[in-house]
Protein backbone atom coordinates (compact mmCIF):
# COMPACT_ATOMS: atom_id res chain seq x y z
CA UNK A 1 0.00 0.00 0.00
CA UNK A 2 1.18 3.52 -0.73
CA UNK A 3 2.76 5.14 2.31
CA UNK A 4 0.51 8.21 2.16
CA UNK A 5 -2.73 6.16 2.25
CA UNK A 6 -4.20 5.07 5.56
CA UNK A 7 -6.90 2.40 5.67
CA UNK A 8 -9.53 2.94 8.32
CA UNK A 9 -13.05 1.98 9.27
CA UNK A 10 -16.07 4.22 9.68
CA UNK A 11 -15.44 7.92 10.26
CA UNK A 12 -18.05 9.67 12.38
CA UNK A 13 -16.87 12.97 13.77
CA UNK A 14 -17.56 13.95 17.35
CA UNK A 15 -19.85 16.94 17.83
CA UNK A 16 -21.16 19.03 20.70
CA UNK A 17 -24.45 18.25 22.38
CA UNK A 18 -27.73 19.60 21.02
CA UNK A 19 -27.86 23.23 22.02
CA UNK A 20 -28.21 25.57 19.05
CA UNK A 21 -32.00 25.19 19.01
CA UNK A 22 -33.31 25.58 22.55
CA UNK A 23 -36.94 24.86 21.68
CA UNK A 24 -36.01 21.65 19.89
CA UNK A 25 -33.85 20.55 22.82
CA UNK A 26 -36.75 21.02 25.24
CA UNK A 27 -39.15 19.25 22.86
CA UNK A 28 -36.85 16.23 22.52
CA UNK A 29 -36.33 16.11 26.29
CA UNK A 30 -39.86 14.79 26.63
CA UNK A 31 -38.47 11.51 25.27
CA UNK A 32 -39.66 8.64 23.03
CA UNK A 33 -39.29 10.31 19.65
CA UNK A 34 -39.11 8.82 16.16
CA UNK A 35 -36.70 10.92 14.09
CA UNK A 36 -37.47 10.87 10.36
CA UNK A 37 -34.88 12.26 7.96
CA UNK A 38 -34.56 10.94 4.40
CA UNK A 39 -31.61 13.13 3.50
CA UNK A 40 -31.14 16.21 1.36
CA UNK A 41 -31.74 14.85 -2.12
CA UNK A 42 -34.63 12.41 -1.60
CA UNK A 43 -37.80 14.49 -1.83
CA UNK A 44 -41.47 13.56 -1.62
CA UNK A 45 -44.44 14.82 -3.59
CA UNK A 46 -47.76 15.43 -1.77
CA UNK A 47 -49.01 11.89 -2.50
CA UNK A 48 -45.89 10.27 -1.07
CA UNK A 49 -45.95 12.61 1.94
CA UNK A 50 -49.59 11.68 2.58
CA UNK A 51 -48.72 7.96 2.56
CA UNK A 52 -45.94 8.50 5.09
CA UNK A 53 -48.16 10.70 7.25
CA UNK A 54 -50.79 7.96 7.33
CA UNK A 55 -48.14 5.39 8.28
CA UNK A 56 -46.88 7.56 11.12
CA UNK A 57 -50.34 7.65 12.69
CA UNK A 58 -49.70 4.10 13.87
CA UNK A 59 -46.66 5.28 15.81
CA UNK A 60 -48.30 8.03 17.81
CA UNK A 61 -49.44 5.78 20.66
CA UNK A 62 -45.80 4.82 21.14
CA UNK A 63 -43.81 7.99 20.42
CA UNK A 64 -43.73 11.55 19.16
CA UNK A 65 -42.41 12.29 15.66
CA UNK A 66 -39.78 14.73 14.43
CA UNK A 67 -40.03 14.74 10.62
CA UNK A 68 -37.56 16.56 8.39
CA UNK A 69 -39.61 16.47 5.19
CA UNK A 70 -37.85 17.11 1.90
CA UNK A 71 -40.50 18.33 -0.55
CA UNK A 72 -40.61 18.03 -4.33
CA UNK A 73 -42.01 21.18 -5.92
CA UNK A 74 -44.76 20.85 -8.50
CA UNK A 75 -44.92 22.70 -11.82
CA UNK A 76 -44.55 26.43 -11.16
CA UNK A 77 -44.74 25.78 -7.43
CA UNK A 78 -42.49 27.73 -5.10
CA UNK A 79 -42.04 26.00 -1.77
CA UNK A 80 -41.65 28.33 1.19
CA UNK A 81 -39.89 26.91 4.18
CA UNK A 82 -42.22 25.33 6.75
CA UNK A 83 -45.30 26.63 4.93
CA UNK A 84 -47.58 23.66 4.24
CA UNK A 85 -50.39 25.06 2.11
CA UNK A 86 -52.22 23.96 -1.03
CA UNK A 87 -51.65 20.26 -1.81
CA UNK A 88 -49.31 19.96 1.18
CA UNK A 89 -52.04 20.94 3.61
CA UNK A 90 -54.16 18.00 2.49
CA UNK A 91 -51.17 15.66 2.44
CA UNK A 92 -50.40 16.31 6.08
CA UNK A 93 -54.01 16.26 7.28
CA UNK A 94 -53.61 12.80 8.91
CA UNK A 95 -51.24 14.40 11.45
CA UNK A 96 -52.92 17.79 11.77
CA UNK A 97 -54.27 17.40 15.29
CA UNK A 98 -50.98 15.93 16.56
CA UNK A 99 -49.05 18.84 15.05
CA UNK A 100 -51.34 21.28 16.85
CA UNK A 101 -50.89 19.35 20.10
CA UNK A 102 -47.11 19.47 19.72
CA UNK A 103 -46.65 15.69 19.44
CA UNK A 104 -45.47 15.95 15.82
CA UNK A 105 -42.99 18.46 14.41
CA UNK A 106 -42.64 18.73 10.62
CA UNK A 107 -40.03 20.97 9.06
CA UNK A 108 -38.26 21.45 5.74
CA UNK A 109 -34.88 21.89 7.39
CA UNK A 110 -33.13 21.42 10.73
CA UNK A 111 -30.32 23.79 11.67
CA UNK A 112 -28.73 21.38 14.12
CA UNK A 113 -26.62 18.33 13.28
CA UNK A 114 -28.51 15.05 12.83
CA UNK A 115 -26.02 13.35 15.14
CA UNK A 116 -26.80 15.75 17.97
CA UNK A 117 -30.49 14.87 17.66
CA UNK A 118 -29.74 11.15 17.72
CA UNK A 119 -27.55 11.59 20.81
CA UNK A 120 -30.10 13.74 22.66
CA UNK A 121 -31.33 10.74 24.67
CA UNK A 122 -34.97 10.89 23.62
CA UNK A 123 -34.83 9.35 20.14
CA UNK A 124 -35.88 5.69 20.11
CA UNK A 125 -35.92 5.14 16.33
CA UNK A 126 -34.28 6.72 13.28
CA UNK A 127 -36.14 6.47 9.97
CA UNK A 128 -33.56 7.22 7.30
CA UNK A 129 -32.71 6.49 3.67
CA UNK A 130 -29.70 4.30 4.36
CA UNK A 131 -26.90 6.69 3.49
CA UNK A 132 -23.54 5.97 5.10
CA UNK A 133 -23.68 8.94 7.46
CA UNK A 134 -27.27 8.26 8.51
CA UNK A 135 -26.55 4.57 9.10
CA UNK A 136 -23.36 5.02 11.10
CA UNK A 137 -24.57 8.02 13.11
CA UNK A 138 -27.62 6.08 14.30
CA UNK A 139 -25.41 3.06 14.98
CA UNK A 140 -22.93 5.06 17.05
CA UNK A 141 -25.73 6.77 18.97
CA UNK A 142 -27.27 3.41 19.87
CA UNK A 143 -30.55 4.21 18.11
CA UNK A 144 -32.37 1.45 16.16
CA UNK A 145 -33.23 2.40 12.59
CA UNK A 146 -35.73 1.77 9.83
CA UNK A 147 -34.18 2.10 6.36
CA UNK A 148 -36.01 3.23 3.21
CA UNK A 149 -33.21 2.92 0.64
CA UNK A 150 -33.87 4.57 -2.75
CA UNK A 151 -30.68 3.90 -4.70
CA UNK A 152 -27.07 2.76 -5.02
CA UNK A 153 -25.12 2.28 -1.80
CA UNK A 154 -28.28 2.65 0.28
CA UNK A 155 -29.22 -0.93 -0.59
CA UNK A 156 -25.92 -2.12 0.85
CA UNK A 157 -26.80 -0.60 4.20
CA UNK A 158 -30.32 -2.04 3.92
CA UNK A 159 -28.74 -5.49 3.66
CA UNK A 160 -26.33 -4.62 6.46
CA UNK A 161 -29.05 -3.62 8.91
CA UNK A 162 -30.96 -6.84 8.14
CA UNK A 163 -27.84 -8.94 8.62
CA UNK A 164 -27.05 -7.37 11.99
CA UNK A 165 -30.67 -7.87 12.98
CA UNK A 166 -31.02 -6.25 16.37
CA UNK A 167 -30.10 -2.74 15.22
CA UNK A 168 -33.09 -2.17 12.94
CA UNK A 169 -34.89 -3.15 9.77
CA UNK A 170 -34.89 -2.60 6.02
CA UNK A 171 -38.52 -1.50 5.72
CA UNK A 172 -39.20 -2.35 2.09
CA UNK A 173 -36.85 -5.23 1.37
CA UNK A 174 -38.01 -8.22 -0.67
CA UNK A 175 -38.45 -10.21 2.53
CA UNK A 176 -40.55 -7.51 4.15
CA UNK A 177 -43.31 -6.62 1.69
CA UNK A 178 -45.41 -5.13 4.50
CA UNK A 179 -43.55 -1.87 3.98
CA UNK A 180 -42.63 0.94 6.30
CA UNK A 181 -45.90 0.89 8.29
CA UNK A 182 -45.33 -2.42 10.08
CA UNK A 183 -41.58 -2.01 10.37
CA UNK A 184 -41.96 1.24 12.25
CA UNK A 185 -44.78 0.50 14.64
CA UNK A 186 -45.01 -3.23 15.28
CA UNK A 187 -45.05 -4.01 18.99
CA UNK A 188 -42.16 -6.46 18.91
CA UNK A 189 -40.17 -4.57 16.33
CA UNK A 190 -37.89 -1.59 16.13
CA UNK A 191 -39.71 0.65 18.61
CA UNK A 192 -39.71 -2.02 21.29
CA UNK A 193 -35.97 -2.58 20.84
CA UNK A 194 -35.41 1.16 20.69
CA UNK A 195 -36.62 1.77 24.21
CA UNK A 196 -34.20 -0.79 25.65
CA UNK A 197 -31.18 0.18 23.57
CA UNK A 198 -31.67 3.90 24.12
CA UNK A 199 -31.99 3.40 27.87
CA UNK A 200 -28.65 1.60 27.95
CA UNK A 201 -26.91 4.11 25.70
CA UNK A 202 -28.17 7.24 27.49
CA UNK A 203 -28.18 6.36 31.17
CA UNK A 204 -28.62 9.89 32.45
CA UNK A 205 -30.63 12.12 30.05
CA UNK A 206 -31.51 14.43 32.95
CA UNK A 207 -27.93 15.63 33.46
CA UNK A 208 -27.29 19.27 34.27
CA UNK A 209 -25.92 21.82 31.78
CA UNK A 210 -22.61 21.84 33.71
CA UNK A 211 -22.32 18.06 33.31
CA UNK A 212 -23.19 18.28 29.62
CA UNK A 213 -20.50 20.92 29.06
CA UNK A 214 -17.96 18.75 30.86
CA UNK A 215 -18.93 15.82 28.65
CA UNK A 216 -18.53 17.99 25.54
CA UNK A 217 -14.91 18.59 26.49
CA UNK A 218 -14.34 14.84 26.41
CA UNK A 219 -16.43 13.69 23.46
CA UNK A 220 -16.04 10.03 22.46
CA UNK A 221 -14.23 9.12 19.29
CA UNK A 222 -15.83 7.39 16.30
CA UNK A 223 -17.14 3.90 16.88
CA UNK A 224 -18.14 4.11 20.53
CA UNK A 225 -21.52 2.56 21.21
CA UNK A 226 -21.39 0.15 18.27
CA UNK A 227 -20.28 -2.98 20.13
CA UNK A 228 -23.05 -2.68 22.67
CA UNK A 229 -25.63 -2.86 19.90
CA UNK A 230 -24.37 -5.65 17.68
CA UNK A 231 -23.45 -8.07 20.46
pLDDT of residue 8: 80
CA 118 to CA 43: how far, in whole Å? 21
- The residue count of the chain comes to 231
pTM of the model: 0.76
Question: What range does the domain containing 143 cover?
Answer: 22-202
Report percent pLDDT > 70 for the chain.
72
Query: What tens digit of pLDDT does each residue of 188-226 get?
Result: 445 545 555 444 444 444 445 454 444 434 333 223 222
Q: Is the pLDDT of residue 128 over 80?
A: yes
The closest of 134, 107, 144, 132 to 32, measured between CA atoms, is 144
Find the CATH number of the domain harbouring 168.
3.40.50.2000
CB of 52 closer than 8 Å to CB of 146: no
> What integer is the mean pLDDT of 79-84?
92
* Distance between first and last Cα of the chain: 32
CB within 8 Å of 38: residues ≥ 6 apart: 44, 68, 70, 127, 128, 129, 148
How many structural domains compose the chain?
A: 1
Q: Residue 227 domain-assigned?
A: no
Burial per residue of 173-182, b for 16 or more beta-carbon CB atoms within 10 angstroms, e otherwise: beeeeeebbe
Amino acid sequence: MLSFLVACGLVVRAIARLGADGSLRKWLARGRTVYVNLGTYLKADPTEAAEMAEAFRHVLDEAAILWKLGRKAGVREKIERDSFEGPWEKALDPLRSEVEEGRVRITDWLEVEAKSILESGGVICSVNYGGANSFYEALCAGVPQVLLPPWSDCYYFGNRVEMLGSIGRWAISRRNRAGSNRSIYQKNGVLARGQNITAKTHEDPEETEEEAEADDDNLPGPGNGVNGIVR
